Amino acid sequence: MKNKNYLYGLLLYGFIAGFTSPVSAEIRQCDKEFISSDDSHIVYMGRISRSIPHIVRFTYPGVSILANFEGTSLQMKAKPGSGAFMVEVDDELPYRINFAENDSIQTLAEGLPEGTHRVRIMYAIEGYELKPAFKGFYLDKGCRLAEAPVLSERRIEFIGNSITCGYGVESENPSDPFTYETENHFYTYAARTARALKAQHLVVARSGIGVYRNYGAPRSGSKDCMPAMYEQVLFTDSTELWDHTLYTPDVVCINLGTNDTSLDNYDMNLLTEGYRSFVKKLRAVYPHAKLVLLTGSMMNGKPLDDVKKAMDTVVGEMNSQGDREIYRFDMSPQTGSLGIGASYHPSMRQHQKMASELTAFLKKLMKW
């Protein structure tokens, strides 16, 4: 049977965060041990910026914070307005927390049994507007972080758009507009696939982005499409570039094209060249990784056929030039039988189907 105090603590965190000011919350931490975000016992997965001392910033969904900690409780400190995270403590079910404009501290767990526990926190949404920042943990007085978690040696990188971000996945109404409340990367095909394969995963994704043309952009393309933004640590900052030696994936999955072909206003030659130049860029960055060009699951008809044709052309070219580590895979288009999320994005069940399909493909490809 679950510890009643622990479960009560998990339910209470929202009440505490919602009715406590940042100032009073800070005052009450005098009987706690503060662990800064730059502590060596905290492990990160995903693109993060450490350019500001004692603060870890990020904008892409899926960035994860992992630690082992002593004591009976855990609190998290972040910049007010950082947005939503998914939290897993020990073997309990994951749950969602939110740092609203007046929240600087959130209680993640209370009433835990004495001993060492583990926590895994994933940023659930897109942060390019919110500019989230993690500052550290509060532990029970006299407690500390235990040995740092060891991450899996398997590494996947996912490059994508709103589908990979998790736009609308927690909605069941296709007429719903975008809201952060229904976006959740934790439930996407990408995150589910990584968990199923017991792999790390790094995400570079943003809603509306394309390989050559963003949603609603001119037929000639967009200056801020994925290839142009790919090197940035933070989507909103062109001055800080990602060090690719920090994370070398075994396989890179690229799921773009939906926005490029949006509103039936695209140029087939530019679309193909967009894939061609981006694949060559990725190959230069990751000379030994397997590259997989994906479709799924919002396209159908001519746009889907054209995206497949563009990708098949590029894969064929690269194969003929001696690069045999570039592949294609198509996840099932949505039909509505599994429900439809906000703005006609994949539902949670559709993401689960996509994950099952991609997991089986990658398991065989990678021999995992």
Question: 341 — phi, psi (to 5°)?
Answer: -85, -170
List alpha helices for the chain, DSSP H.
4-19, 22-27, 162-165, 189-196, 226-229, 268-285, 301-320, 348-366
Fill in the amino acid letter for 241. Answer: L
Give pLDDT, residue 9: 44
DSSP 8-class letter at 340: B
Report, as an integer, the average pLDDT of 61-79: 98
Placement of tokens 């990784």 in the chain: 289
pLDDT digits (tens, 9 = 90+) for 289-338: 999 999 989 999 999 999 999 999 999 999 999 999 999 999 999 999 99
Evaluate whether 189 touches 349 at the Cβ level (below 8 Å).
Answer: no
HSE-CB for 366 with a 13 A CA cutoff: 26
Cis before 64 (ω within 30): no
Strand partners, 320: none
pTM of the model: 0.92
Calculate mean pLDDT across residues 274-279. Answer: 98
Average model confidence (pLDDT) for the chain? 93
DSSP assignments along 151-175, one per residue: --S-EEEEEESHHHHTTTTT---TT
- pLDDT of 66 over the 50 cut: yes
pLDDT at site 24: 46
- For residue range 84-122, list pLDDT tens digits in order: 999 999 999 999 999 999 999 999 999 999 999 999 999
Strands 133-140 vs 32-36: parallel, antiparallel or unpaired: antiparallel
Q: Please say if the pLDDT value at position 22 is more than 60.
A: no
The CA-based dihedral angle spanning residues 137, 139, 141, 145, taken in that order and rounded to the nearest 10 degrees: -90
**How many other C-beta atoms can be found within 10 angstroms of the C-beta atom of residue 158?**
30
pLDDT of residue 231: 98
pLDDT(26) > 70: no
Query: What's the whole-number mean pLDDT along residues 184-194?
Result: 98
- Pairing mode, strands 155-160 and 200-205: parallel
Q: Is the pLDDT of residue 359 over 80?
A: yes
Q: What is the pLDDT of residue 25?
A: 52
**What pLDDT does 288 receive?**
98
Find all residues with CB under 8 Å of 322, minimum gap 6, and list them.
Answer: none
Find where tokens 């800070």 sit.
Answer: 26
Q: Please tell me the distance from the alpha carbon of residue 229 to that of residue 208, in angstroms, as a whole number.
A: 13
Q: Which two tokens stand for residue 345?
A: 């994005």
pLDDT tens digit sequence for 141-152: 999 999 999 999
User: Do residues 351 and 192 make contact, with C-beta atoms less than 8 angstroms apart?
Assistant: yes
Kindly provide the b/e burial profile for residues 113-137, where b requires at least 16 CB atoms within 10 angstroms of the residue's own CB. Answer: eeeebebbbbbbbbbbebbbbbbbb
Matching residue, tokens 């017991």: 198
Within 8 A by CB and 6+ apart from 265, the residues are 218, 219
Decide: 353 and 338 in contact? Cβ < 8 Å.
yes
Distance of CA 325 to the CA centre of its chain: 25
* CB neighbours of residue 303 within 10 Å: 20
